[in-house]
Amino acid sequence: MTDSPIRILLVDDQQLVRLGFRMVLDAEPGLTIVGEAGDGAEGVRLAAELRPDVVLMDVRMPVLDGIEATRRIVETDPQARVIVLTTFDLDEYAFGGLRAGASGFLLKDARPEELAAAVRAVAAGDAAVSGRVTRAMLELFADRLPTGATAAGAGTDPTAALTPREREILVAMGEGLSNGEIGAKFYLTESTVKTHVGRVLAKLQLRDRVHAVIFAYENGLVER
């Protein structure tokens, strides 16, 4: 019995861009395109209708931009995974996409193997952008973020559900450390770190590592 293919929805207003992504992804084993949309509103509709595993979402589109489309898709289906497509690294639009609930961003000129790897990573519940890049993006657009007191709410501890070790792991993720770096810092095996990361995400109801970094940053758990 073979695993089901990863189902992908393409959302981009440029038909040639969608064609290029389709050619690359259809050539990859275990990946299949289930639909295409030419604007954000159509993307939201098709995402609800088709329930794809991964949405590749352009950010600059007519009718409804990719940031708002991402927000609506994620609100409707918390299991949805979105990769924002952008032209520039550390772009304000990519930042907006992550804040809206995307699990990562990808440059439009990414190599075919990078595109396929990002789709597979996001479908598996991981992130398509490293914690270190997320941290750099948060620092770049720090003035758009609420302060820790504002984000968490006065007098509340957003990490109350975590054990002391899990809180340390969260802070380390917020600092942009990889599993290997976290393991070295706390003298833990990578498998143990993965277990802790999974528990942190589950307890705080975070989508993936990208959103763990954002959570840590917004709630003042790491220095700005």
pLDDT in tens, 128-144: 776 777 877 777 776 76
pTM: predicted TM-score of the whole model, two decimal places: 0.82
| 156-198 tens-digit pLDDT | 788 999 999 999 999 999 888 888 999 999 999 999 999 999 9
Pull the structure tokens for residue 104: 């990562």
CB 58 within 8 A of CB 13: yes
What's residue 1's pLDDT? 36
- What residues contact residue 80 under an 8 Å CB cut-off, 6+ apart? 47, 52, 55, 73, 74
Those residues with Cβ within 8 angstroms of residue 92's Cβ, 6 or more apart along the chain or in another chain: 141
Cα separation values, 106 from 4, 28, 60, 97, 151, Å? 24, 18, 14, 11, 27
Interatomic CA distance for residues 129 and 136, integer angstroms: 11
Task: Write the pLDDT tens digit of every residue in 123-132.
Answer: 988 887 767 7
Q: If you average pLDDT over residues 11-30, what whole number do you get? A: 94
**pLDDT at 149 (0 to 100):** 47
Q: Hey, is 83 helix, strand or coil?
A: strand
The three-state secondary structure class of 188 is coil
Contact 161, 212 (CB under 8 A): no
Bridge partner list, 81: 54
Answer positive or negative: Cα dihedral of 119, 121, 127, 130. negative
- Report percent pLDDT > 90 for the chain: 53
Residue range 2-15: mean pLDDT, rounded = 90
Per-residue pLDDT averaged across 115-127, rounded? Answer: 88
Cβ atoms of 219 and 151 closer than 8 Å: yes
pLDDT digits (tens, 9 = 90+) for 64-93: 999 999 999 999 998 889 999 988 766 788
What is the CB-side half-sphere exposure of residue 92 using CA atoms within 13 A? Answer: 4
How far apart CA 139 and CA 214 sit, in angstroms, is: 11
pLDDT given for residue 140 in this prediction:
78
